[in-house]
Amino acid sequence: MPSYTPMIQQYLHIKAQYPDAFLFFRLGDFYELFFDDAIKAAQELEITLTSRDGGDERVPMCGVPYHSAQGYIEQLIEKGYKVAICEQVEDPKTAKGVVRREVVQLITPGTLMEGKGLTEKENHYLAALTPFADGTYGLAYADLSTGEVRLTLLSSWEEAANELHAVGAREIIVATDSGEEWVRELKERYGAAVSYEDDTSLCDEWNGVIGHVAQEKLRQAAARLLHYLVRTQKRRLDHLQPAELYQVDHYMKMDRHSKLHLELVETVRSKGRKGSLLWLLDETVTAMGGRLLKQWLDRPLIDRREIERRLDFVETLKTSYFERQELRDRLRGVYDIERLVGRVSYGNANARDLVQLKKSLLQVPALRQTVGALPLAEADKLCERLDPCEELVDLLERSIQEQPPLSVKEGNLIKDGYDKQLDRYRDASRNGKAWIAELEAKEREATGIKSLKVGYNRVFGYYIEVTKPNLPLVPEGRYERKQTLANAERFITPELKEKEALILEAEEKSIELEYELFVAIREQVKQYIPRLQTLAKAIAELDVLQSFATISDEYRYVRPQFSTERVLVIQGGRHPVVEKVLGAQMYVPNDCYMNREREMLLITGPNMAGKSTYMRQVALTAVMAQIGCFVPAERAVLPIFDQVFTRIGAADDLSAGQSTFMVEMLEARHAIAHATQNSLILFDEIGRGTSTYDGMALAQAIIEYIHDHIGAKTLFSTHYHELTALERSLPRLSNVHARAIEENGKVVFLHQIADGPADKSYGIHVAELAGLPASLIERARAILAELEKAAGKQEAAAGRMDDGALAEAGLAFQGNEALDVGSKVEREKASRPSAGAAREGVLAEAAFEQLSMFPDLAPAPVEPPLSSKEKKALAALKEINLLEMTPLEALNKLYELQKLLK
């Protein structure tokens, strides 16, 4: 063992306590890293690796300046590392021997308090997971930046895994004896860092957080989290809020696959927010509202009273346009109170933070007034929670300057008149400066040097400057030479130095005093933490509700109504995100009718016809209704769903080593094992991942099982046309199809869902559209004709020759080229009396149930959709870039478009 210098020995001693973290060791104005930490950090941060004399040997070293350390720390945390901040805890000037140093904070991926790692509209959670012998799991999690703490008990690993996903913690804390495999799974599946904490004993000082928690398991789960926080943060965490207890079955349950398939908070393809339901719904204007919206979307309600309460608000705000605009304007002036409070509690809030807090509070009286004037009983309750904290505003108004600097150690923080002593120092400094300002004129007169100047620099302080030609006029004896420049000399006088000393002393003292006063004010703000947190919650809620109202107004959404009879009526329903992306005029609305006699819809139709979109829109409508938002439809009567299961589209677990088919089967099993008659199931082409017969057999068996044993509302899309025959054997199953027609030998998707099975496969047309070689297409047509002949014989034998919509459409409108596709659809609809029978049944039931609130539940007239030509023309029109066209080109384009429409 080499013998090291005392400082390196100190380093090694401290580092031994933090083996899994980078130790940022404060040395003057730098944080230095040594040994392996230095080698690794130099690589990760791309900084220069040097070395330092450590005694018997040189030790590897690298470092970052203290004032720019934050960025480097964030980089390491982002990469999943931990950073221990080790500060000098005594004044180096008075220290004997090596300055005493201590780790003051361990920053980990789950305990970020500031910086780019914190996304404004997202929570940043740290979770602790505690398994119990009976197979249950205690989950405790906290967002240290906002002080929120939540606790729940989960009945199985499956439930716990799901909840962990919903929470999306950056770091998960477990016991040290947790199995290696489990820990690896936690790391890989959740992309979270894993940390350890074994202490689950309770401390009295946590009463504010878990004093109200009675259940022992939950207390233990919370204790693991709190011990870890205390151990790493090494300070009082006054902003931790009383833990919120919840049970997952008090909310609509959705596993992570279902959430992903529905693209609730991120899209399947990019895993980004854009294109998700959250992206569409987010018209919040505060960070707090943004975070709450995501929380609501993660946990739709099943308590009808609470849903209706939110809807009442949304309805009122939707119709109160001016009040809503006023609220939005005011909310824009509100900063992130929750995180400001977090920083106050942490002791790292600066004066600008307090100014932001004050400015936010100043918006509250107007918010209160506007909310209070809303014609809604509930509004009063919300008003009560909008606490303007007047005394705090008054304190901040009197004390903190309006535009303070970032640093709290350079003065300019405190207003004049707040503290007498500070005013005295400031007077001294101001008087001294005024004296100096007058000095110039006085000395010019005394010496007769017109160009004489009084100046200041950091090295020499105040001086009198005289240019070379005037040097003979300088009064020898009174002026003392201090500095020689190229064409001037600088002097001082004893009087000037005396004043300077006074000024500097006063300034130094006032800066020190300002810092002390500031810290004291910050301590005072701490007393308001619970009130500020209540206020922050109320503001967040108001913001989300106004966001729902804004969206509902903008996109013409309607208030959903709820049925206790398991009736579902959606008229003129749309997929909210597809509608936004395509534009309302391009989107074809669809109806959906289900009840106890019509529990399952089997959806057939060509690829690209809109089956998945239709299924998703039904589920999204249910989710939106249950978070308390209006829904994209002309009318909606919905059951309150306890769970939603979806299996739609691309497989996403291939990376986890499972085949598409296996994932599909696992998800089907999950749905079948958990769904109830109050659930909604969406299955998109289940079974397609295996051979035709296998797949079809499985699909049929799954449908039958759900039909006979579960009774959940189910939408099942399939390409197995044979399954449409099930309608005859399963009384609660009905066929519907996504419509398409042929036009000039090409397939046109109407994106309309109609009753009955699809008649024909349009796969070949789609292949043609995709540009496969003509000879190949022709060959496929020949094969199809053969197959159809064979199938035709079978169907005839079974007594089932569907007179399909297409054949009908073809007959009814043969030779009438002038009619566009839209009117064909209308006419065809009218010509099929049987198609609406099921719908009438459901409507009658819904009307009966909803009689008082739903007097005119006759089917609403459907707007004729745009023809494909019109869609094309519109699309082409949108594409035109007028800035890059000559007038003649524009005229030509217009002519082309007109021709297209004729």
Ligand X SMILES: Nc1ncnc2c1ncn2[C@@H]1O[C@H](COP(=O)(O)OP(=O)(O)OP(=O)(O)O)[C@@H](O)[C@H]1O
Which positions lie near ligand X, rule CB under 6 A? 578, 582, 586-588, 590, 605, 607-613, 738, 751
Structure tokens, 440: 């110039």
CA dist 789 and 422 (Å) reads: 99
Least Å from the CB of residue 716 to ligand X: 12
Task: Taking the CA atoms of 189, 192, 194 and 200 in sequence, report the sign of the dihedral they define.
Answer: negative
Q: Please state the separation of Cα 59 from the chain's center in Å.
A: 45
DSSP H stretches of helix in 234-350: 256-261, 277-281, 287-298, 304-319, 321-332, 337-346
Nearer to ligand X, 13 or 746 (CB): 746
Tell me the HSE value of 30 on the side-chain side, using a 13 A CA sphere: 8
The answer to whether 689 is a known ligand-binding residue is no
Least Å from the CB of residue 788 to ligand X: 20
Nearer to ligand X, 548 or 557 (CB): 557
Nearer to ligand X, 63 or 865 (CB): 865
Residue of 67, 62, 73 lying closest to 32 (CA atoms): 62
Structure tokens, 559: 């208030």
Residue nearest to ligand X (CB): 610
Nearer to ligand X, 281 or 750 (CB): 750
C-alpha distances in Å from residue 224, one per residue of 82, 139, 228, 243: 19, 10, 6, 14
Nearer to ligand X, 399 or 752 (CB): 752
How do strand 171-174 and strand 125-131 relate by DSSP bridges?
parallel
C-alpha distances in Å from residue 271, one per residue of 166, 608, 889: 15, 23, 41
Task: Evaluate whether 419 touches 411 at the Cβ level (below 8 Å).
Answer: no
Task: Taking the CA atoms of 544, 547, 553 and 558 in sequence, report the sign of the dihedral they define.
Answer: negative
Nearer to ligand X, 147 or 632 (CB): 632
Nearer to ligand X, 310 or 751 (CB): 751
Least Å from the CB of residue 610 to ligand X: 3
Least Å from the CB of residue 778 to ligand X: 23
The answer to whether 612 is a known ligand-binding residue is yes
Least Å from the CB of residue 865 to ligand X: 8
The answer to whether 345 is a known ligand-binding residue is no
Spell out the residues 6+ positions from residue 470 whose beta carbon is closer than 8 angstroms to its own. Answer: 449, 451, 452
Nearer to ligand X, 265 or 738 (CB): 738
Residue of 658, 662, 685, 682 lying closest to 671 (CA atoms): 682
Tell me the HSE value of 523 on the side-chain side, using a 13 A CA sphere: 6
Nearer to ligand X, 26 or 575 (CB): 575
Q: Convert 284-300 to b/e letters by CB count within 10 Å (16 or more is b).
A: bbbbbbbbbbbebbbbb
Amino acid in the structure at residue 474: V
Nearer to ligand X, 566 or 751 (CB): 751
Task: Taking the CA atoms of 50, 53, 55 and 56 in sequence, report the sign of the dihedral they define.
Answer: positive
Helix (H) or strand (E) holding 636: strand 635-639
Least Å from the CB of residue 584 to ligand X: 10
Nearer to ligand X, 482 or 556 (CB): 556
Q: What phi, psi does 668 have (nearest 5°)?
A: -65, -45
Q: Which residues pair with 125 in a beta bridge?
A: 143
Least Å from the CB of residue 684 to ligand X: 7
CA dist 91 and 94 (Å) reads: 6
State the residue for tokens 């099921």: 838
The answer to whether 191 is a known ligand-binding residue is no
Nearer to ligand X, 168 or 576 (CB): 576
Least Å from the CB of residue 847 to ligand X: 25
**What is the number of other CB atoms lying within 10 angstroms of the CB of residue 565?**
13
CA dist 512 and 519 (Å) reads: 11
Q: What is the edge-to-edge ordering of all strands in the sheet holding 680-684?
A: 644-647, 680-684, 713-717, 600-604, 733-743, 746-755
The answer to whether 377 is a known ligand-binding residue is no
Least Å from the CB of residue 763 to ligand X: 10
Least Å from the CB of residue 145 to ligand X: 38
Task: Evaluate whether 615 touches 739 at the Cβ level (below 8 Å).
Answer: no
DSSP H stretches of helix in 448-493: none
Structure tokens, 86: 């080790």
Least Å from the CB of residue 679 to ligand X: 22
The answer to whether 606 is a known ligand-binding residue is yes
**What is the number of other CB atoms lying within 10 angstroms of the CB of residue 544?**
31
Least Å from the CB of residue 701 to ligand X: 22
State the residue for tokens 């904490």: 197
Least Å from the CB of residue 356 to ligand X: 43
Nearer to ligand X, 717 or 850 (CB): 717
Binding residue ranges for ATP: 605-612
Binding residue ranges: 605-612
